[in-house]
Structure 1
Amino acid sequence: MADALVSIVLERLASVLEQQLRQQVTLVLGVESEVDNLKNTLQSIRAVLGDAEKRQFTEELVKVWLERLKDISYQMDDVVDGWNTALLKLQIGAENPCIPKPKISSCLPSSCVCFKQVSLRHDIALQIKDIKKQLDAIANERNQFNFVSSSTIQQPHRRITSSVIDVSQFYGRDADIKIIIGKLLGGSCQESSSLYIISIVGMGGIGKTTLAQLAYNHEKVKSYFHERMWVCVSDPFDPMRISRAILEALQKESSGFHDLEAVQQKICTLIANKKFLLVLDDVWTENYELWEQVENSLKGGAPGSRILVTTRKENVSTMMGTTYKHPLGELSKEQCWSLFSNIAFYGRSREKVKLENIGRKIADKCGGLPLAAKVLGSLMRLKDNKEDWESILNNEIWQLDVIEKHLSPPLLLSYYDLSSAVKRCFSYCAVFPKDQIISKDRLIKLWMANSYLNSRESIEMEKTGVDYFEDLVSRSLFQDFRRDDEGNIISCKMHDIVHDLAQYLTKNEFFILEIDDEKEVRMASSFQKARHATLISARRVGFPSTIHNLKYLHTLLAARVVDFSSTAQPPPNLFKHLVCLRALDLSGNVFFGELPKNLGKLIHLRFLDLSNNFILGGLPETICDLYNLQTLIVSEFLTKLPQGMRKLINLRHLEWGGGRGSMLPKGIGRLTSLRTLTGFRIIGVCKIGELKNLNSLRGGLVISGIANVKDAEEAGEAELKNKKHLHQLELEDFGRLAPAASKGVAEALQPHQNLKSLKISHYDAATEFPSWIAASSLAQLKKLEIVYCAQVTCLPPLGELPLLESLIIEHIKRLKYVGGEFLGSSTTAFPKLKHLRFNDMEKWEKWEIKEGRSVMPCLHFLSILKCPKLESLPERLLQITALQKLHIMDCPTLRGGNDWSKLSHISEVQLNWC
């Protein structure tokens, strides 16, 4: 984590100096050289941090030295960020003459910038000199430790494995071993030129190697393959070493070859026309060129040959061209107990009876991790009395020396293998309580707020965050994923022991504070240097009055800590003291009827969540002084935003599900950094033209109040066609517009062709839909909803949309007939449609599909609701083989229109005529 913090400071120093040059602002005399010296010292310290971070687990003085370095790094970050904010305020002041400029120190020439930081009351120059003095002392102290620079540091110890296993020590993987053996013995379906690769993927300590050993030594496997080879690959991936190990396993003797070509030629000879099993245990490399050097020599085996790989990283599995990937999860509680108890009570059946209740609780600490169960079982095997067992039970798992010695190395390997940037993102997850569902989107925004995602060339921060998140996913450091309809991960959890590791690495920086009356007093002394904190309260007892003592906090997550019945107000001067905050979550705290004006003093703030505060009437105008703010999430009950929002030029995400009376302020269109704008209501001073320059918008956007757009020319000012990153769009409330104006406005609101989801509602005046609802304009569209279109009498040719998967048509009161115009002219109408629903079509009578063309071949779910006059369904629809669900409700006329006895191929049929 120290390396990560130092990296941040170096990046920010470079950034702020570059900004000064652009704005031609002069520093106090001499500070330029101080900054250069500061950077040089940081870079020299950074060179030895790899060694220091590894030695901190065994050398207490090194750990203390690193704690001091992290503390000064945080201080530097605060100073540099304050400096950067002063320059930003000058920039905004130049663009907005009405905004006051930062004060200039009266004792310095007017050309000098002097920005007084609230927390320390010193100007930037003096702060930098003071920090430089402290850093020099830390740099001098490092000499006593004889650190090794990163260029010569030794690789961390990696376990060497073999194929030998004691089967009696194996528990809980019966289903997994059955699957793996089935894949190994699955016949000779692969051509000899192909490699059938099976990858077992999972976190460190989960039992990948054990599973591979069991498969390798299974009697059926032994008899099936002519040759079996076991190679512990580990890191680095050395093609020569691995090839020699394969050859020696084939020859059953040492190899005298020293040339890769000779080794691999011999391998080709020995495996020719033979079924072989090769286990490559503990593979880390993602470099295909290295793997290719080994792979090419293995293609001459007989059909049915297999390669079994164990790895922590999904990317390794993909790179190697895996045929079957087997994700390995944790053991169940009962399986973990069996493994633990058989080791802990080996030869001591009497003790098991009296210690089982405590033992089960200790086994639960293992979180289903076999290695942890073995380590703790071995520890308890040496302890006889109840007091010793209770002592272990009441300890945090990472406080046990045996865990540090035996469990931490395999888990720390995953951490050490991360880049410096991803290490800091992983460590930040210590701020979340155990078992908490972590939103991917929210996590990335919190990383952004703490400056962990500085842009890489033209790659934006959010994309960098996604890359880092996926890196952690691929290394099995996240689990329990929830995905959206397209398979993208939207949330996850951390394994308890992985979470413990993150907390262990960030001790004294990250805290989970459970608020109650007892801890209220201790908070002031125990956590003074805390930088990131989460407040939790099982009883929602109220906001702690001593929270202002944590004055160095960068993150404060305090969602839902206040009792709904409480009339308490926020602690006085809360924001006066917490001036270093980057991220603040006060969601669900209903006492915030009014936020204090000194919220604007939090100049570093980048993330602010005020959602689910249903009595919050408004935001203070001072919130517009938070020039660094990137994410603002406000309550859906809020009716308006401050008028000065145009000053928040760094705002990237504005999440506000405002109701029908909600109003955006004038000038919102100047926030060209916006990526998220959940709702845009056209009312009052907020005209649709404000959308013109918001071309970075992505995700979803709801445009409502379209009835307040006077004509097509004004609608065209939104330039929706230029918003290529916008994938979901809702157009609401065309209201009282005249029919011609309504059609013209709708035509002018044509979105970009990248759109994937569209909803049109309350399109009340026009009889026809805009012409751009067609395949040529919406070739990427997957979901379409058309609801409350009072005057429409004919549907557009939606069957031509090539990727449409879901279609919902509701409340179209005047529609009487659906036929060829609905299908369009494509050879196959609705080629990808899976879900189709018609609802509340009170005048709809006929639905016809003519012979001679393919229609809806992928339709899975058909729903017809509240269509009282519909006479029959096209028989061709009911004959679609893909159709699995048919729901018909409140369609009395439809009852006699079809032969409902011929639906046996449809697995779920619900017919409720009235």
Structure 2
Amino acid sequence: MADALISMLLERLASTSYEYIEGELKHVLNVKEDVEKFTGTLEVIQAVLEDAEQRQVMEASVKIWLDKLKDISYEMVDVLDEWNTDILKQQVEKQEREGDPNALVTKKKVRFSSFSRCFCFGKVSRLILRRDIALKIKDLNDKLTEIYEERKKYQFLRKELGIQQPQKPQRPQTASYVNMSEIFGREKEQNILITKLLGDSSEEEKGLLIIPIVGMGGVGKTTLTQLAYNDDRVKTHFDMRQWVCVSDPFDEIKIAKAIIGKDAPNSNELNEVLRCMSEFIHDKSFLLVLDDVWTDDPKKWEQLKVPLIQSGAEGSRILVTTRKHEVAKMMRATRNMINLGGLSDEYCLSIFNHMAFLDRVVDESKAFDDISKKIVRKCKGLPLAAKTLGSLMQNKRTMREWKEVLNSKIWDLEKVEQDVFQPLFLSYYDLDPTIKCCLLYCATFPKDYMFQRDDLIKLWMGTRLCYFERE
């Protein structure tokens, strides 16, 4: 969040005008110099924010440091709003005095003149107002300097130095194997997917078909893919099957070598590796699973796709799992895309009970039935959450312990934080700073609040989180 906020604040600082204010204040306070110093300090701090935001998940002291930085940033945003409002008033009053017929802001559109008469009692009042603004900037500058000095004790890494950064929440490696005893639901989605894999009705499907499965982290994309991959009909349908956990970054050489397997060349030259891959799959109908794809860079994808299309036999399939619709669009595969939603509470309850009462008698599980259902509602259809909470309850034998979990904030539970929320942070880290700010703005709404899309966009625009470009 801090990185997104700082990026937005730096943009505001860069667009701030001193023309109307500096002349009256330069002999009282060095307001422009203070803003420039604030900006410079903020830019240095921004260079370590990627490291800081990743470490705050596990280090409470780093989170406190970031919170102080965010508080100062929000205060500076308020001061800039006050500053820019005063500039706008002066511009409007000047236009009114000069009677400019081409003024961008007129009395008819914005009636600031009456507002000015009520609140600005001459030039002295305006000077006092501006002096107050300048003093606030100076005070914030001093506070930011303290935070700047405090950062040294954490030894954050600067992203521009090219030093290996600490890992983001670990991206788990996946394999094709699946434990059928832990699977509940998804029969409908499984049948749809297998039909797409085996179908050959249309002319288009006789060539290489790409099938993306899109959904949020923890919703079961990989599990659904494992079910289809290990189906007996699928096994006998293709000449070869290969499972590749792609993750991030998208490494064409690594993926190609994984497809080839033990016969992969030692060379790391892309053209040579792709040539070997092309020979390996030549005239074979294959099922290739690319699990956990993040990149939507078409250049990287095209280099890998071309030899797959040219060398594989008709009816070959590429099954892709991703959290991003942009990946499906980049692959030009939205027509065959499967949007995977959450499970019903009934299936989530089955997952939860399976994990929670793994070694217990049936009668014991019935005693906790009502409270189990209440806990499962907190999962919001997310199988990973149901599985994690279920495993958390395995060693809790009393009703008091179960009620403590029910009444606690789910994100305060250490196991839930590690197994559920840290993987979900991967989606957050993948957003650009502007989108992060827009997403975090939604936290101002009450829990379960239903807002209208267009109203939300207007609120984003009103707070300068996004802009509307007229065609």
Question: Normalising by the residue count of structure 2, what TM-score does the alignment of the two structures yield?
Answer: 0.89
Name the amino acid aligned to 1:275.
Answer: S
Aligned to 2:19: 21
Instruction: Note the 1:155-554 alignment, pairs <5 A.
Output: 155-156=167-168, 157-187=170-200, 189-190=202-203, 194-248=207-261, 252-253=262-263, 255-299=265-309, 300-322=311-333, 323-349=335-361, 350-453=363-466, 461-463=467-469
Name the amino acid aligned to 1:80.
Answer: L
Aligned to 1:734: none
CA contact (8 A) 1:45 1:139 kept: yes
Instruction: Determine the C-alpha separation between the residues in 2 that align with 1:15 and 1:104.
Output: 27
Name the amino acid aligned to 1:28.
Answer: K
Instruction: Determine the C-alpha separation between the residues in 2 that align with 1:133 and 1:177.
Output: 60
Aligned to 2:110: none
Instruction: Note the 1:721-760 alignment, pairs <5 A.
Output: none
Aligned to 1:5: 5
Instruction: Determine the C-alpha separation between the residues in 2 that align with 1:192 and 1:302.
Output: 12
Aligned to 1:35: 35
Instruction: Determine the C-alpha separation between the residues in 2 that align with 1:52 and 1:224.
Output: 49
Name the amino acid aligned to 1:14.
Answer: A
Aligned to 1:133: 142
Determine which structure has greater relative contact order: mean sequence separation of CA pairs < 8 Å that are 6+ residues apart, divided by chain length.
2
Instruction: Determine the C-alpha separation between the residues in 2 that align with 1:223 and 1:381.
Output: 39
Instruction: Determine the C-alpha separation between the residues in 2 that align with 1:303 and 1:253.
Output: 24
Deviations 1:89-143 (A, max 9, x none): 0011112246547456649xxxxx63628xxxx6122111111111111110010
Instruction: Determine the C-alpha separation between the residues in 1 that align with 2:229 and 2:128.
Output: 67
Instruction: Determine the C-alpha separation between the residues in 2 that align with 1:385 and 1:127.
Output: 55
Instruction: Determine the C-alpha separation between the residues in 2 that align with 1:181 and 1:27.
Output: 72
Name the amino acid aligned to 2:151.
Answer: R
Unaligned runs of 5+ in 1: 108-112, 454-460, 464-695, 697-724, 726-914
Deviation at 1:159, TM superposition (A): 1.3
Instruction: Determine the C-alpha separation between the residues in 2 that align with 1:288 and 1:93.
Output: 52
SS at match of 1:57: coil
Instruction: Determine the C-alpha separation between the residues in 2 that align with 1:123 and 1:22.
Output: 16
Name the amino acid aligned to 2:439.
Answer: F
CA contact (8 A) 2:290 2:318 kept: yes
CA contact (8 A) 1:189 1:303 kept: no
Deviations 1:837-896 (A, max 9, x none): xxxxxxxxxxxxxxxxxxxxxxxxxxxxxxxxxxxxxxxxxxxxxxxxxxxxxxxxxxxx
Deviation at 1:188, TM superposition (A): 6.7
Aligned to 1:142: 151
Aligned to 2:82: 82
Deviation at 1:218, TM superposition (A): 0.7
SS at match of 2:127: coil
CA contact (8 A) 1:86 1:115 kept: no
CA contact (8 A) 2:240 2:284 kept: yes
Instruction: Determine the C-alpha separation between the residues in 2 that align with 1:84 and 1:399.
Output: 41
Deviations 1:709-755 (A, max 9, x none): xxxxxxxxxxxxxxxx7xxxxxxxxxxxxxxxxxxxxxxxxxxxxxx
Deviations 1:421-464 (A, max 9, x none): 111111111122333322111111111222212xxxxxxx135x
CA contact (8 A) 1:199 1:308 kept: yes
CA contact (8 A) 2:296 2:330 kept: yes
Deviation at 1:176, TM superposition (A): 0.4
Instruction: Determine the C-alpha separation between the residues in 1 that align with 2:7 and 2:323.
Output: 27
CA contact (8 A) 2:200 2:206 kept: no
CA contact (8 A) 1:192 1:301 kept: no
SS at match of 1:278: strand
SS at match of 1:21: coil
Instruction: Determine the C-alpha separation between the residues in 2 that align with 1:259 and 1:380.
Output: 50
CA contact (8 A) 2:243 2:290 kept: yes
Instruction: Determine the C-alpha separation between the residues in 2 that align with 1:27 and 1:115.
Output: 10
Name the amino acid aligned to 1:310.
Answer: T
SS at match of 1:198: strand
After superposition, the Cα gap between the structure-2 partners of 1:386 and 1:75, relative to the gap in structure 1 and judged at 3 Å, is same
Instruction: Determine the C-alpha separation between the residues in 2 that align with 1:104 and 1:144.
Output: 49
After superposition, the Cα gap between the structure-2 partners of 1:190 and 1:304, relative to the gap in structure 1 and judged at 3 Å, is farther
SS at match of 1:452: coil
Instruction: Determine the C-alpha separation between the residues in 1 that align with 2:46 and 2:71.
Output: 15
Instruction: Determine the C-alpha separation between the residues in 2 that align with 1:361 and 1:170.
Output: 21
Instruction: Determine the C-alpha separation between the residues in 1 that align with 2:269 and 2:22.
Output: 61
Instruction: Note the 1:533-612 alignment, pairs <5 A.
Output: none
Deviations 1:557-590 (A, max 9, x none): xxxxxxxxxxxxxxxxxxxxxxxxxxxxxxxxxx
Instruction: Determine the C-alpha separation between the residues in 1 that align with 2:90 and 2:20.
Output: 12
Name the amino acid aligned to 1:328.
Answer: L
Deviation at 1:43, TM superposition (A): 0.5
SS at match of 2:213: strand
Aligned to 1:56: 56
Unaligned runs of 5+ in 2: 98-112
Instruction: Determine the C-alpha separation between the residues in 1 that align with 2:338 and 2:364.
Output: 38
SS at match of 1:438: coil
Instruction: Determine the C-alpha separation between the residues in 2 that align with 1:88 and 1:191.
Output: 60
After superposition, the Cα gap between the structure-2 partners of 1:104 and 1:73, relative to the gap in structure 1 and judged at 3 Å, is farther
CA contact (8 A) 1:340 1:374 kept: yes
Name the amino acid aligned to 1:9.
Answer: L
Instruction: Determine the C-alpha separation between the residues in 2 that align with 1:128 and 1:327.
Output: 49
Instruction: Determine the C-alpha separation between the residues in 1 that align with 2:143 and 2:129.
Output: 20
Instruction: Determine the C-alpha separation between the residues in 1 that align with 2:128 and 2:457.
Output: 30
Larger strand share, 1 or 2: 1
CA contact (8 A) 2:218 2:382 kept: yes
CA contact (8 A) 2:351 2:387 kept: yes
SS at match of 1:53: helix
Name the amino acid aligned to 1:332.
Answer: S
Identical pairs, percent: 46
Instruction: Determine the C-alpha separation between the residues in 2 that align with 1:307 and 1:68.
Output: 48
After superposition, the Cα gap between the structure-2 partners of 1:195 and 1:438, relative to the gap in structure 1 and judged at 3 Å, is farther
Deviation at 1:296, TM superposition (A): 1.0
Instruction: Note the 1:650-661 alignment, pairs <5 A.
Output: none
SS at match of 1:200: strand
Instruction: Determine the C-alpha separation between the residues in 1 that align with 2:12 and 2:266.
Output: 55
Deviation at 1:260, TM superposition (A): 1.8
Higher Cα Rg, which structure: 1
